Structure 1
Amino acid sequence: MLSNKVGKQLGHPTYSLTGWLVTKFLKWHNQILEENAVKLSNIQPNDTVLELGHGPGLGLQEASRLLVGPRGKLLGVDYSQYMHQMASKRMEEQISRGKAVLYHSDLVTMPIEENTVDKVFHCNCYYFWPDLKAGAKAIHRVMKPGGIIVTTLRLDSLKKAASMGVLTGDKWRPEIYMEALECSGFTDVRMENKREKLIKFQAIFANAVK
């Protein structure tokens, strides 16, 4: 029961003691993944960049430092109202200047126009999507032709979470996520092993073709 409760909070943190604890865990556990997702996205000053499942906003903050061009813009989507409000507070200055827009929305219905996003990144969230293929299609819809998506994860941690019952089913498996990307119009889908500060993690890359 506890593992199931924690799993639900990881996917959709709420205003609760468990949600607060999960948020603290996400800030600590995801920081290296967030920083590297931004780094590996090769963000350019005038790109339009989207983070999915942005959580408390660590990745948004990193990405905003790179979008220094006059047309550079940052978008964020999170299904949790708690995370949306926390990230909105963190990004208050960028939002007020029109450099960032955050949406409290699910992935499939995110109110972002077609063919407008250069780079997409996300960390530790694809396995919480209700439908991987529908999610991948929604991402492909908003991306420009040739756009790049980067996903970072720690496979060892996912395997452990699955063995403990925190993650259920098999959507956590990278190959299933990668297959969903390929079925939705992405090419050159690949996973690479990375290391940062003695921490091993994986990065999945894909290109949007239209």
Structure 2
Amino acid sequence: MLSKKVGKQLGHPTYSLSGWLVTKFLKWHNLILEENAVKLSNIQPNDTVLELGHGPGFGLQEASQLLMGPRGKLLGVDYSQYMHQMASKRIQEQISRGKAVLYYSDLVSMPIEENTVDKAFHCNCYYYWPDLKAGAKAIHRVMKPGGIMVTTLRLGNITKAASVGVLTGDNWRPEVYMEALESSGFTDVRMENKMENLIKFQAIFATAVK
């Protein structure tokens, strides 16, 4: 029961003590993953960039520093109102200048136009989606032809979380997620092992084909 409650808060933090604790955990646990998801996305100054499940906004903050061109635009989606408001405060300046827009929405119904996103990234996210194929199709819909999507995770930690019931089912398995991406129109889907500050993590890459 406790494992399921922890998993629920990780996937959808709320205004509560457990939600606050999860936020602190995300800052400590996700920072390297967020920074590297941004780095591996190869963001260019005039790109339109989307973070999925942006959480407290650390990845958004990192990506915003790279979008210095006049057409550079940052988008974010999260279905936790708590995370949406926290991230909105973190990048308030970019939002006020029209350089960033955050949506309080689930992935499938995100109000983003088709074929508008150059780069999309997320970390520690896909295992909480109720339907991987629907989520992958939603990402593919908004990507430009040739757009790049990057996911970062620490597979060892995810495997442990699944073993104690924090994550349930098979959606946490990278191969299941990668199959969903391929069936939704992505190509060159691959997972690579990476290292940062002696911390091993994995990155999944996919290219949108239209």
TM-score band, normalised by shorter chain: over 0.9
Distance between the aligned counterparts of 1:108 and 1:170, measured in 2?
A: 20
Distance between the aligned counterparts of 1:11 and 1:21, measured in 2?
A: 13
Distance between the aligned counterparts of 1:140 and 1:4, measured in 2?
A: 30
Aligned length: 210
Q: Which amino acid aligns with 1:139?
A: I
Give the C-alpha shift of residue 165 in structure 1.
0.6
Gaps spanning 5+ residues in structure 1: where?
none
Secondary structure of the residue that 1:31 maps to in structure 2? helix
Q: Which residue of structure 1 aligns with residue 45 of structure 2?
A: 45
Q: Which amino acid aligns with 2:68?
A: V
Percent identity between matched residues is: 89
Q: Which amino acid aligns with 1:151?
A: T
Secondary structure of the residue that 1:24 maps to in structure 2? helix
Distance between the aligned counterparts of 1:200 and 1:154, measured in 2?
A: 7
Deviating 4+ runs (over 3 angstroms): none
TM-score (norm 1): 1.00
Instruction: Determine whether 1:77 maps to 2:82.
Output: no
Q: Which residue of structure 2 aligns with residue 24 of structure 1?
A: 24
Give the C-alpha shift of residue 65 in structure 1.
0.2
Q: Which amino acid aligns with 2:150?
A: V
Distance between the aligned counterparts of 2:176 and 2:169, measured in 1?
A: 11
Q: Which residue of structure 1 aligns with residue 161 of structure 2?
A: 161
Q: Which residue of structure 2 aligns with residue 118 of structure 1?
A: 118
Distance between the aligned counterparts of 1:156 and 1:13, measured in 2?
A: 23
Distance between the aligned counterparts of 1:26 and 1:54, measured in 2?
A: 11
Q: Which residue of structure 2 aligns with residue 133 of structure 1?
A: 133
Q: Which amino acid aligns with 2:142?
A: V
Secondary structure of the residue that 1:71 maps to in structure 2? coil
Distance between the aligned counterparts of 1:129 and 1:39, measured in 2?
A: 24
TM-score (norm 2): 1.00
Q: Deviations over 1:91-111 (max 9, x none)?
A: 100000000000000000000
Q: Which residue of structure 2 aligns with residue 148 of structure 1?
A: 148
Q: Which amino acid aligns with 1:154?
A: R
Secondary structure of the residue that 2:204 maps to in structure 1? strand
Q: Which amino acid aligns with 1:182?
A: E
Distance between the aligned counterparts of 1:22 and 1:165, measured in 2?
A: 17
Gaps spanning 5+ residues in structure 2: where?
none
Distance between the aligned counterparts of 1:106 and 1:64, measured in 2?
A: 22
Q: Deviations over 1:176-197 (max 9, x none)?
A: 0000000000000000000000
Alpha-carbon RMSD across the aligned residues, in angstroms, is: 0.3
